[in-house]
Amino acid sequence: MEYRKIDRMINILQAYKNGRTIQVNYYKDNNKWEDTDDLSLLSISTVKFFRIKPNYRPFRSNTECAIEITNHSFPGSLLESEYKNTEYSIIQFNNNQSDASWNILIYNKKMTFEEAFNTYIFVDGSPFGVINEE
How many CA atoms within 13 Å lie on the side-chain side of 22?
25
Residue 29 is predicted with a pLDDT of 61
Q: Is residue 61 domain-shared with residue 113, that is, in the same domain?
A: yes
Record the pTM.
0.71
Beta strand ranges found along the chain (DSSP E): 22-24, 34-36, 50-52, 56-57, 77-80, 87-93, 104-106, 109-111, 120-122, 130-131
Containing structural domain, residue 13: 3-52
> How many separate domains does the chain show?
2
Q: pLDDT 10s digit of each residue in the chain, 134 long? A: 588 989 999 999 999 999 999 998 887 666 678 899 999 988 888 888 898 989 999 999 999 999 998 888 787 888 888 877 777 888 788 888 788 889 999 888 999 999 999 999 988 888 999 998 76
Q: Is residue 90 domain-shared with residue 116, that is, in the same domain?
A: yes
Residue 19 is predicted with a pLDDT of 93
Q: Is residue 90 domain-shared with residue 103, that is, in the same domain?
A: yes
Q: Are strands 50-52 and 77-80 parallel, antiparallel or unpaired?
A: unpaired
Residue 87 is predicted with a pLDDT of 79
Residue 102 is predicted with a pLDDT of 92
CA Rg value for the chain: 18
